[in-house]
Every structure is written in C-alpha cells, then in structure tokens.
Amino acid sequence: MFIYTVQPGDSLYRISIKYEIDLDRIRLANGLSQTNIVPGQALLIPLNVYTVQPGDSMYSIARMAYVPFQSLINANPSVNPNELMPGMKITIPDISNYYITALGYYALRSPALDQALINDFAPYATFISLFEYHFSSDGSLNFLDDSTAIQTAWSRRVNPLATITNLTETGFSTELTHQVLNNPTARSNLINNIYSIVTTRGYAGVNIDFERVAAEDRDLFSGFLRLLKERLQPEGYWMTIAVPAKTSDDIPWLLGYDYGAIGSVVDLMFIMTYDWHHAASEPGPVAPIDEIRRTITYSLQYVRRDKLLIGVPFYGYNWEVPYQPGSIAQALSNQSAVELAMRFQVPIQYSTTYQAPYFEYVDENGQQHVVWFEDARSVSMKMLLIREYTLQGVGAWQLTLGFPEGPWLLTNFFRVKRV
C-alpha cells in the first residue's frame, strides 16, 4: 500500500496507468462512486509494488508507503537507491507484524442492519462496543434490542461489549453521574444492573463511557470502577473504559479522571484522542498529531502501555467562517468531507504541523466554510504513533461513519487480535 496525493491535472485514469493498477481497484479502496477527484486528495493505492516515477527517490517512496526507509532498502536488495529509473519496480515491505487490539463503537440500529454491518466490521475488530446503555438516578438501565448484534459478534470471533454511558436527553450529564456516585444505594444498583446485563445478555464485558465527570467526584468515580471490576473479574469479563484525552493533571474540566487510579483497575483504556476542535469551538484540526503525542507521553506516566488504545475519529467538522462565538459546526464523516470538496471542486490542503487535511469553499449562498477532517495520510500517522510507543492498539468512533480506507490501513500496519 502507498498513498498518492492528487496533483493538478490528474485523473483517476492517468493515476491508474501511472501505477499499473485497475481504476476500479482505486475506486473501491477509496470509496469513490465516481471518477471525479480534486487536487490534494489522498488516494490509497492498494499495491505492494511501486512503479518509480520521474523525480522519485527511495526516501520519497518510503514516505508515501509509510514504511521505514531502511525496511524499504532491505526489501529491494538488488536496487541501487542512487540509480532509480522511471518504470522500475520497488517492493513495499509488509509491516503488519504488529499484533494489536482493535475496538470499535457501533450504534445499534435494527436487528437486520446490526447483523449485516457487524458482519462487515468483524474482520477488523477485537471488540465491538455496542452503543449504548444509560442509567437513571436510581441506577436502573434502559432496554436495548441487542441480541442479534451480540450473537453476530460472537459468531464472527469478536468480543461484544456493553457500552454504559451517562447520556440523557440533553447530552452527557455531570449532575446525573454526581447523583449516582454519591448515593450508595443507586451506585450499588447500577453495579448490579451492569453485571446483570453483561451476564444475561451474553456480553464479553463492559465499556464505561461516563463523560464530563466532575472534579469533586474523581475519587468516587475511581472507586466505582474498582467495585465494578471486583464484580466482573472473578467470572472473566472484560473491564474497559473510554476517557477524555489529558496532557496534564491540572486541566480544570478533566480533573474528574484520575488516569493512575483508572489505569490500575481497567483491562483496557480507550483514550478519546480527538475533538481538540469540535462543533462548538473555533475551526481547527480534530485530532492534531502533536496533541496526541503529548497525550500518550502523559498517559504512559500512569498507565501500562499494554492497556492503552488510541482513538481515531472517523469524522470531521464543517465551520462557517468567519467564526462567530456560539455558532455550531456541522459534523460529517471523513468520506462526506471528501465528497464535499469534490462537489465544490476545491483543492484539499494538508497541514504537516497538525498532520491533518482541510479545505475551504464558498457555498451556494455565498457563505464561506472551512472543513477539517481525517484522511489516509493523517490516520497513517496515528498508526505509526501506536507502533512507535508500542501501545496495545487502536479504537474508532464510530464504525458506521464513512471511511473506506480504514480496513486497508488497519491491515497494512497491524494484525488484529481475535477471539
């Protein structure tokens, strides 16, 4: 695999001729329903042999393939790096010898859709966390029609997890979490009900996704996790959690999360390394690489690396500009972002500082927009970070958002652990 950045004047046909690959293979790998492309667009080329182009070097080829330079040299012992000629064939080495845990969130739909979609996602997942159960102030949980999803996951050698959230009609609730954590009866009820859901529904374990936990509830939250783990562990159930990304312990709105205490309890910690810019913020990259690196560095002070999963967003945001405080950006899938650039025929830019793509356009009403999202290049850089820090794996929010390159990238960089 390598990633080609579309140049002005390119067409899919010319690119297919250049790299000696069937045009439809490029379309399939990149989820293209048409042959329309725009300059700056990243195209994943699913080949393990690269055809040298004018101006290429072994260094530039290694960068396009996201493989170490020396690995590329070693894979081509008969090639003199200083004597590359157009048309020469360069073997791209297989670097998928890194086994990871892959966790993906899946929002339940209907039994028929659940079965079909989970069948599609299963080859690329160790865990699928079914979204979502939420609790009330007395610790009771809602009902989910999840039987088909659970059975399908198991049949495809994937561990199904029950996602437990503090969601309400108005979003993730700090107050609801505070009420339950500070009420011993409600807290005990919630633990019992989670245990009952896991055991009676046939889950492999649980994923706790309590967001916006208050600083005053920090110790109570960690204690709740310990009590839940004590209930689940004797029977071999997985205890996993999703936590916001932290780069220090003095960020006021994240004081409710004690990485050290949480990391000592859970089996896996999924860090939501995204939304540095979000729907209610000013425009900017959703998952800038420097912030992810800082998050990993901080996390490793408190949590074993074999417990850490780095989150990858399958979405971006579309802001109206100039930005007006209080305005809300539109969320869109990575694939929808590319299709939007195609629709308005605007070039896609790429920030090497943030390792993230973006573009600007003017809509039919004359309103200016800027869109930041993720593509094959930016996700590849995140995959390399996982390898660099030898972390346990990767997670995705969420599986049904359009990102056709995802399975190709995952299997290029890793081998996924299965049940």
Residues identified as active-site: 211
Report the alpha-carbon distance of residue 372 to residue 352 in Å, rounded.
13
193, amino acid identity: N
262, amino acid identity: I
The CB density around residue 333, as the number of other CB atoms within 10 Å, is 19
Q: Are strands 308-313 and 127-134 parallel, antiparallel or unpaired?
A: unpaired
* CA angle, 15 then 16 then 22, to 5°: 160
Residues whose CB falls within 8 Å of the CB of residue 315, separated by 6 or more in sequence, listed in order: 286, 331, 332, 333, 334, 373, 374, 397, 401
Tokens at residue 351, please? Answer: 């920030």
Report the alpha-carbon distance of residue 263 to residue 298 in Å, rounded.
13
Question: What single DSSP character describes residue 215?
Answer: G
Task: Judge if the upstream peptide bond of residue 322 is cis by omega within 30 degrees of 0.
Answer: yes
